[in-house]
Amino acid sequence: MEDSVLINEVLELTLAYQQADVTAEELARLERLLSDNPQAITWYLRVVEDTLTLRDSVEAQRSQPPAEEACDASLSADPAADDRAQNVFLASAARIWHSWAVPVTAACMLIAVVGALSWWPSPRSVARAKADSTGRSARVVNVSNVQWSVGAKEYDEWSFVAPGESLKFERGLVNLFLANGAELLIEGPADVDFVSLKKVFARKGKLAARVSPSAIGFSIETPHANVIDRGTSFGLSVAEDSRTDVVVYEGMVDLDVLGDASHEHRRLERGEALSVNRQGQLSRITTVESSEFLEPPQVRAAGNPAGRVIAAVSDNARSMDTSKYYRVIPGGFREDCRAYVDRLHEWNGVDARGLPPFLVGGDYVMTFNDDKVTPEIQIAVSLSQPASLYVIVDDRVPPPEWLKRDFVDTHWDVGSDDGWEDRIVATGLGPGESIDHACSVWRHDVSEPSTVVLGALSQEKLTVPATAVKRSMYGVVATPLRVDE
C-alpha cells in the first residue's frame, strides 16, 4: 500500500473512531491496519497526538481572550470565541499536516477538522494540561474506572505525566501515550514510575506496550527483570513480591534477569513467554489469557465475556526446551481472528456465508504452527465446564487416528487466510476473502469439567523446516455444551 493511501485510510478511520461514528467493518479494518502494518501504527499515533496538540491550541485561545476584551465579562460567552478557536485550529492544522511526509487529500483534511473538533472533551484549564516544552512527557489519553491510591497524584484524561512522576492506583485502566510514539496500557492494582521516554519502572501491575519504530529500545524494568523492546508489542504481569511474567505478541524483546550475572540476554520473539521469580529463575508460561495479561494498546472492541470455557492449555514439551505459549482468547473466535501465535494466518468462513455459526463467539486457542511437524506433541486442553470441543484440521493432511477415534466430523469447513511477515502476501478482510485452503471441523462433547488430550497433526517424520511444509497446525475452539431439553 502506498504511503498516501495508507495515511488517508488511517486518518479517516481514526477520526471516525474518535467521533464514535465508526461501523463494525471500519473498526475491523482499523484493527487490521494496526496489527499488520507498523507504519499504520506510526500514523495512528501521530493522528492522536496532533489532534491533542490542536485541542490544546484551541483551549489556550478560548482561555486567553484579547486584552481589550478581557474587561468585558459578557464576551466570555461570545460566539466569536468559537470562531477565533476555529481559526487557531485551521492555522495549526495547516502547519501540522503540511509537515507530514506525503500529502493527504482535501476530503481527509475536512474530516480531520470536523472530527477532531467534535471529538474534543469539554474545555479544561490549560494549567491542568500544560505541555512539557522539552517533549519528554507522557500523556494520559484514557482513564477507565480508576481508583487512585491514597495520597497518590490523580491524573485526568489528556493530562501530562512528567519524568519522575508515578501512577499508583488500586483498580482500573490507564492508557499512556509517550511523546516518542510508544503507547502503554496499565491495569491496577499498579505502582509504575515514568522514568523517561526510554524507561518505566513497574513495581506491580499488568502492563502492555505497543512500540513504534521511533521508540525502539523502550524498556520496562521490574523488581525481577528488565524487558527491552526491539520493535514489538508485549505484555507484563508484575507481582511485586514474587515474579514478573513476560509475553511477546509481536516482534521481539530482550529479557535481562536483574541481579543475576549468570543469565545472558534472553531474546523472546512473537509467541514466546517466560516467568522470572525473585530468585532469578526462569520458567516457561504455557497459557496466555486475558485474565492474566493485557492485550497490547490498540483500538478495542468490547471486553471479553465472563464464564470462559477453556481454563488452561499445556503440552508435553519440557519446560525450558521452548518458551512458546498457547494464547487463549475467551469468546474471541470470529472472522479474521489470528490463528497462531507464530504466524499471521487468520480464520475465516470459506465463502460469503461466513464461519460455522456454532463456532462464532467460542473460546479458542492460538496454537503454534511450527508444531505441525512435531510428531510427539500432545496438547492438554482443560475445560472449566461441560463443553463442545472442536478441532479445526487442515484438509491437506489425513485425519490423525486420535481425531477419528475421539471426535466426529461435523462436515463443516473453516477457511485459512495465510499471512507471512517475510513475503508480500496480504490477508483479506471478511468471509470468503483470500482463502488459501480449507480445514474440516471435528467435535467432541465433554459432559463435565475435565482435560482433553490432543495428539499430533501427523506422525510423518520430516527433516525440512516447518516453514517449508505446506500444511498448518490444527486450531482449537470450545463452546458451552448445549443440553437439549
The CATH number of whichever domain residue 224 belongs to comes to 2.60.120.1440
Helix (H, G, I), strand (E, B), or coil: what is residue 444?
A: strand
Cα distance between residue 334 and residue 331, in whole Å? 9
- The proportion of the chain whose per-residue pLDDT surpasses 90, expressed as a percent, equals 31
Burial class (CB within 10 angstroms; exposed 0-12, middle 13-18, buried 19+) of 322: middle
Mean pLDDT of the chain: 77
Burial class (CB within 10 angstroms; exposed 0-12, middle 13-18, buried 19+) of 5: exposed
Q: What pLDDT, on a 0 to 100 scale, did the predictor assign at position 472?
A: 92
Whether 60 and 148 share a structural domain: no
Lowest mean pLDDT segment, chosen from 105-114, 129-138, 281-290: 105-114
Lowest mean pLDDT segment, chosen from 72-86, 222-236, 334-348: 72-86
Cα distance between residue 345 and residue 339, in whole Å? 6
Whether 297 is covered by a domain: the verdict is no
Cell numbers given for 144: 477507565
Whether 259 and 150 share a structural domain: yes
Whether 301 is covered by a domain: the verdict is no
- N- to C-terminal Cα separation, the chain: 53
Whether 214 and 284 share a structural domain: yes
Cell numbers given for 182: 510508544
Please, which residues bridge with residue 461 across strands? Answer: none
* pLDDT over 80 at 239, yes or no: yes
Q: What is the domain extent for residue 379?
A: 310-480
Whether 171 and 216 share a structural domain: yes
CA distances 217 to 211, 226, 318, 484, Å, are 9, 12, 31, 55
Whether 149 and 85 share a structural domain: no
* pLDDT over 80 at 396, yes or no: yes
Residues 6+ apart with CB under 8 A from 219: 198, 199, 200, 226, 227, 228, 229
Whether 159 and 97 share a structural domain: no
Cα distance between residue 42 and residue 35, in whole Å? 12
Residue identified by cell 461466513 is: 354
Better pLDDT: 13 or 131: 13
Whether 303 is covered by a domain: the verdict is no
Q: What pLDDT, on a 0 to 100 scale, did the predictor assign at position 304?
A: 42
Residue identified by cell 490477508 is: 427
Mean pLDDT of 366-373: 89
* Length of the chain in terms of residues written: 485
Whether 203 and 263 share a structural domain: yes
Write phi, then psi, for 295 (nearest 5 degrees). Answer: -70, 155
pLDDT band at 409 (very low <50, low <70, confident <90, very high): very high
Lowest mean pLDDT segment, chosen from 30-44, 346-360, 409-423: 30-44
pLDDT band at 88 (very low <50, low <70, confident <90, very high): very low
C-alpha R_g of the chain: 25
Q: What pLDDT, on a 0 to 100 scale, did the predictor assign at position 36?
A: 61
Whether 133 is covered by a domain: the verdict is no
Whether 298 is covered by a domain: the verdict is no
Helix (H, G, I), strand (E, B), or coil: what is residue 245?
A: strand
Q: C-alpha angle with apex 269: 264 to 273, nearest 5 degrees?
A: 80
Whether 115 and 230 share a structural domain: no
Concatenating the DSSP letter of every residue in 138-196 gives EEEEEEEEEEEPTTPPP--TT-EE-TT-EEEEEEEEEEEEETTS-EEEEEEEEEEEEEE
Whether 129 is covered by a domain: the verdict is no
Residues 6+ apart with CB under 8 A from 57: 88, 89, 92
* pLDDT over 90 at 53, yes or no: no
Mean pLDDT of 373-387: 90
Whether 317 and 281 share a structural domain: no
Q: Could you check whether the bond before residue 189 is cis, i.e. omega within 30 degrees of 0?
A: yes
Q: What pLDDT, on a 0 to 100 scale, did the predictor assign at position 95?
A: 45
* pLDDT over 60 at 68, yes or no: no
Whether 426 and 324 share a structural domain: yes
pLDDT band at 73 (very low <50, low <70, confident <90, very high): very low
- pTM of this prediction? 0.60
| Alpha-carbon 339 to chain mean position | 15
Whether 228 is covered by a domain: the verdict is yes
Q: What pLDDT, on a 0 to 100 scale, did the predictor assign at position 37?
A: 66
| pLDDT per position as a tens digit, 162-194 | 999 999 999 999 988 887 878 899 999 999 999
Cα distance between residue 162 and residue 363, in whole Å? 40
Report how many domains make up the chain. Answer: 3
Whether 90 and 143 share a structural domain: no
* pLDDT over 70 at 46, yes or no: no
Segment of 40-49, 122-131, 440-449 carrying the highest mean pLDDT: 440-449
Give the end of a domain, one of 289, 321, 347.
Answer: 289
Whether 232 and 337 share a structural domain: no
Cα distance between residue 214 and residue 250, in whole Å? 16
Give the end of a domain, one of 69, 100, 123.
Answer: 123
Whether 296 is covered by a domain: the verdict is no
Give the end of a domain, one of 123, 148, 179.
Answer: 123
Q: What pLDDT, on a 0 to 100 scale, did the predictor assign at position 401?
A: 94
